[in-house]
Amino acid sequence: MRPFATAFAAAAIIGPAAAPGPAALPGPALRQAPLRAALPLYGYSVVNVYPHDPGAFTQGLEYLDGVLYEGTGQHGESSIRKVRLETGEVLQRRDVPRQYFGEGITIWRTSLFQLTWQSGVAFEYHRDTFLPRRTFKYAGEGWGLTHDADGLVMSDGTDILRFLDPETFAERRRVRVSALGRPVGNLNELEFVKGELFANLWQTDILARIDATSGRVTGWVDLRGLLRPGERLGTDVLNGIAYDAPRDRLFVTGKLWPKLFEIRLVPRPL
């Protein structure tokens, strides 16, 4: 999220009310022995690597019916796109008015929804044509967006997830995300994977696996090392999670990354 930033700040993930106890949160602490008593940790194996537009400041990613849908950010550069997975070719694009900083996207039935960062405005487009349908207002910032069987799920950069009515954008309920009793903030890009919510933690290469009903983190996914050090030059943070449910494929990328990865999660000893 937010304009170009790559520094990791663990304090931004651990809420101010963090309680003492075993290390439960990501970052450098993943290498520390106390985590052996904490939450499950997963690494990855790379299944496939695909081209990705290195000029795309990726804010949202979704896979449906054989193509990727991508939302990009930055003032004057924000867009929604339909992308061919295998080649990275942009098949369809609609630019967002330059006063808006595009954020997370998701598809709900025949609509594509897109958040904006600080404007408090969400756009609804026709999924096939990208023609505008409606706009909605919301309080606070917009970061990540996904959906479950009942409606939309939104992150706002805090430890809160908002569950929204896709017809009105009204908030139905909210949950606070925590790991072993500690709040987990900076929740960013979201995706449901086999009924579990995956959330990218901004400024890290870490995903949180979240029980969407209770908000409890059930494990961490460590995605460090996807890009080689030389490939990280000029890029920004990991951001972009998409799941192909029919074929059980998980995709991840980042802002300004030249590659998109299909990965398989691998349990890892702490």
155 domain-assigned:
yes
16 domain-assigned:
no
DSSP one-letter code for 18:
P
92: helix, coil or strand?
Answer: strand
12 domain-assigned:
no
216 domain-assigned:
yes
pLDDT over 60 at 71, yes or no: yes
**In which domain, by residue range, is 122 found?**
35-268
What is the pairing mode between strands 238-244 and 58-64? unpaired
2 domain-assigned:
no
pLDDT for res 13? 42
166 domain-assigned:
yes
Tokens of 255: 């802002």
* Percentage of residues in the chain having pLDDT higher than 70: 86
Q: Do 6 and 236 touch, CB atoms closer than 8 A? A: yes
What's 134's domain CATH number?
A: 2.130.10.10
3-state helix, strand, coil in the chain (%, to 5): 5, 50, 45
d(CA 67, CA 128): 12
d(CA 132, CA 182): 40
Q: What is the pLDDT of residues 145-181, one digit of tens each?
A: 999 999 999 999 999 999 999 999 999 999 999 999 9
pLDDT for res 36? 40
d(CA 5, CA 237): 7
Q: What is the pTM for the complete model shown?
A: 0.88
pLDDT confidence of 38, banded at 50, 70, 90?
A: confident
240 domain-assigned:
yes
Q: Do 50 and 260 touch, CB atoms closer than 8 A? A: yes
73 domain-assigned:
yes
98 CB-near residues (< 8 Å, 6+ apart):
75, 76, 78
Total of domains in the chain: 1
Type of residue numbered 229? P
Q: Do 145 and 111 touch, CB atoms closer than 8 A? A: no
